[in-house]
Structure formats: structure tokens, C-alpha cells
Amino acid sequence: MFQLRTLEDLSARELDDLLFEAGRYANGSSCREQLSATVANLFFEPSTRTKVSFEKAEHELGLHVINLEAGTSSITKGESLYDTVKTLEAIGCDAAVIRHPEEKYYEQLEGLEIPVINAGDGAGDHPTQSLLDLLTIQQEFLFFQNLKIVICGDIRHSRVARTNAGILRKLGADVWFSGPEEWMDESITDGKVLPMDDAVKTADVMMMLRIQTERHNESGEWSKKAYHEAYGLTEARERQMKQTAIIMHPAPVNRGFEIADRLVECDRSRIFKQMANGVAVRKAVLVRALNLKEETV
């Protein structure tokens, strides 16, 4: 049974196959006929892009979709996550897409007979976001080997930073980091930290991150102005980037905070292309998880 909890679940061949299939969907391939399966979406944290792109992918594949809201489910009565998903399995769901604030929540779900697709677990992993980031980079550069990727911002609290750093290194990219010292994490950065003014000159890909205020316990947060001047991608810093370098961001974007407003939609920005690629990636993952065979046109 194919599941996607972390990218560690994937072999090199499976990763290549998923990116190939996602690229095919991104280039306009579509299903010749509707697929027959039911997928449950369980989002225990707020989400726009991930939730909506999963729903869009499911509908385009012709899947039946159940959206379970945690606040109106028996979870509010103390039901365990396992029993909730087991119930969905019992009534005929074929897969579950889950976002949860607890890291590695999926370890509670051993013994299920339906696949679980991780749509984000706390500050742990976000495998489908990483896949869409990989697809976006691949579309731009065709390869990953020796590309200089700078991930900038709230590294410590970011599941995107953690997942992307690991897989990009495996693919041969040269991964660096930038951001406030208190938000660095040696287990992710491995000491490869650059000042922001050096980072923008080094990067082939500037991967900006949202500040994860909902995961912060410490006091003394940065002001918008101070952070933007010290660690933001300002218009002045963008002018120092390589001619072929691109800007990425998993969104939601705080314009004028981690990135200047004008740069969100500038020529080198791939932020909205990432979002479009999210539908293609999630279609590829769903088809693989459900072991569906579909003809495409």
C-alpha cells in the first residue's frame, strides 16, 4: 500500500515517477473518464492552498470527497484520531488526507487498511508541498545537482524548510539558509547559514518562508519593518540576485514582511506557479495512493 507520510517513504524511482506524472498533469493531461473512489479530507489546522488544491485535484479526478471538519466531529467528544479515521475506513473511504498540528500524528494510525496522505504535521513534514516545490524547480532548471538553494526565514518552525532541505540535499542541491539566529535549527541547517545580503547573490532559488507566529512560544517578536530590513527580500536585494535566479514561497505571503509587495508577482517570482503545480502534484499522489489506472488525453 502506497502512503505519503514523509518523503522518506519514497524510493528514488517513486519520487521520479511522481514528478513525471505531476509534470504530465501540469502540462494539461486530464482523465478520459471519472475515477471511482472516496477520499476523506481531515484538516485540523487552517489551510487555503493545500486544502483547496487537494479538493480541486480530487474533483478533477472524479473522486467522491468527504470533508470532515474537526470542530463538528466526534473528536470534540474525545474520540481518538485513530478511531476517527478507522470509522471513515469502515464506512467505505478509500484514503485519508490529513493535516494535524501534532508532529508525526500518523504514527497513531498504524493498522489502518487505507492509505494516509500527510497534508502537514505540525513543524514536522509537508511532503506534497515539497513535491510541488521540486516540480517548480525542475520545470525551471531541469536538474537539481549543484543548484544553490537558499531557504530564508523561520527555519526552526517550518515543516517546509525541514522537508525541502532533506530532499534537495539528496538530489544534489547545495542548500543554504538565512534568517534570525534564534530561528535557526542546527538539525536542519547543518551550519550552512548566510547573511541575507550574501544569500541573494548566491542563490539560484530564493525560497522565502512565512513567519510561523502560531508556533512561537518566545516573546519579543520582530516588528514588520525591522524584520523586512534585516531578513526580508527587499526590492534592493532582489536587484542583487543572479539574472536567472527565481523566487519561491509556500504561502500564505505576508507582503512587505518577508518579501516586498512588488516582488510577489515580479518576473522572477514563481509563487503562483507553485500553487498551480500543487494541483498537479496532488493528483499524481492521489492516483498512486488509490492504485488507480486512468487513461489520459
What average pLDDT values come out for the chain (297 residues) when binned by 10 residues? 92 94 92 75 92 96 90 75 96 97 94 96 91 98 97 90 94 96 91 96 96 60 87 97 97 93 98 97 96 55
> Which amino acid belongs to residue 127?
P
Q: Would you say 77 is a known binding-site residue?
A: yes
Cell numbers linked to 258:
518577508
What pLDDT is recorded for position 293? 54
> CA–CA separation, 143 vs 202, rounded Å?
18
What pLDDT is recorded for position 9? 87
Beta-sheet strands, E only, within the chain:
38-43, 64-69, 95-100, 116-121, 148-152, 174-178, 205-208, 246-248
Q: Which sign, positive or negative, has the C-alpha torsion 176, 177, 178, 180?
A: negative
The 3-state DSSP class for residue 44 equals coil
CATH number of 7-125+276-289: 3.40.50.1370
> CA–CA separation, 4 vs 10, rounded Å?
8
> CA–CA separation, 128 vs 279, rounded Å?
10
Q: Would you say 251 is a known binding-site residue?
A: yes
Q: Would you say 210 is a known binding-site residue?
A: yes
Q: CATH fold of 127-271, please?
A: Rossmann fold (3.40.50)
β-partners of residue 206 are 150, 247
Q: Would you say 126 is a known binding-site residue?
A: yes
Q: CA–CA distance from 57 to each of 82, 193, 237 (Å)?
A: 25, 37, 36
Side-chain-facing half-sphere of 272: CA atoms under 13 Å: 6
Q: Would you say 252 is a known binding-site residue?
A: yes
Domain coordinates of the chain in residue numbers? 7-125+276-289, 127-271
Asked if 7-125+276-289 and 127-271 have one fold, the answer is: yes
Q: Would you say 108 is a known binding-site residue?
A: no
* DSSP tag of 237: H
Q: Which of 67, 120, 64, 128 is nearest to 283 (CA)?
A: 128
- Please say whether the beta carbons of 174 and 150 come within 8 A: no
> Which amino acid belongs to residue 211?
I
> CA–CA separation, 277 vs 281, rounded Å?
6
Cell numbers linked to 160:
517546509
Q: Would you say 195 is a known binding-site residue?
A: no
Q: Which of 61, 64, 40, 62 is nearest to 51 (CA)?
A: 40
Q: Would you say 260 is a known binding-site residue?
A: no
Cell numbers linked to 65:
470527497
Q: Would you say 49 is a known binding-site residue?
A: yes
Element (DSSP H or E) covering residue 5: none
Per the listing, cell 504514527 goes with 107
What pLDDT is recorded for position 184? 93
Q: Which sign, positive or negative, has the C-alpha torsion 285, 286, 287, 290?
A: positive
pTM over 0.95, yes/no: no
